[in-house]
Every structure is written in structure tokens, then in C-alpha cells.
Amino acid sequence: DADVTQTPRNRITKTGKRIMLECSQTKGHDRMYWYRQDPGLGLRLIYYSFDVKDINKGEISDGYSVSRQAQAKFSLSLESAIPNQTALYFCATSGGAEETQYFGPGTRLLVL
């Protein structure tokens, strides 16, 4: 079984709709992250969390919110989706001395 899972894997929604992307991990890591990936822009950090009570904004948090429901679960919400939020979204955890990041398989989101 995968260490980091994301649901859904693909989502099509309309402008103005609220949607939630979910992430679960079995690695036992405290640190979790949400990134978006756009062609030519690599991965950009949206939010990150060091534990259930510690949530921090990343470089592109506007238009997004997160919830850390448990050590293993970190969800990302788009309160009112807009077309330029169309992207590939990745959840990741990190741990170990080298802070290796372990990524989920991604959620492909299309906002019409």
C-alpha cells in the first residue's frame, strides 16, 4: 500500500464551487505539505503543518485553506474555485535526518 494517498485523483469543478482535496499518510511523520505544480514552475508550497496545532502559510496560500484533522490527515480546500487554480496538487510528508519528502500520487484539478 502507498505511504501517502490522495483523493480524489482527478476532479472537474466549476468556478465558484467549494472543493476539498484529502491526503492521508501511514509514515508516521509529523510534517505534511500541500504543493501545486504548473508546467515550467516546478512545485510551489501552498500550506504546511508541523503537527495538528501548527499550520503555516506557504508562498501561494491565497484562495486556499487547510485542516489537519489528525497526524495522518491533512486536507486542502478551495473555498471558491477559479480557473487559474487548475493545476496538479501534491501532498507530501517529510521526516528523517535529511528531511526527505514523500509525495502522494497527485490530484489533477480542472476548474471550468
Q: Which positions from 61 through 90 interact with other proteins, judged by CB under 8 A?
A: 90
Residue 41 binding other proteins, by CB under 8 A: yes
Pairing mode, if any, of strands 107-111 and 10-13? parallel
Q: Which of 20, 44, 52, 63 binds other proteins (CB under 8 A)?
A: 44
Closest CB 101 distance from other proteins, rounded Å: 7
Cα 46 to Cα 74: distance, rounded to the nearest angstrom: 12
Instruction: Single out the segment in contact with other proteins by CB under 8 A; choices: 21-29, 62-70, 71-79, 95-103.
Output: 95-103
Does 1 contact other proteins by CB under 8 A? no
Residues 6+ apart with CB under 8 A from 5: 23, 24, 25, 104, 105
How many Å apart are CA 27 and CA 9, to the nearest integer? 20
Nearer to other proteins, 16 or 28 (CB): 28
Can you list the alpha helix ranges (DSSP code H) found in the chain? none
Least CB distance from residue 23 to other proteins, whole Å? 11
- Say how far apart CA 89 and CA 2 lie, in whole Å: 17
What is the contact surface with other proteins in residues (CB under 8 A)? 4, 31, 33, 35, 40-45, 48, 50, 58, 90, 92, 94, 98-101, 103-106
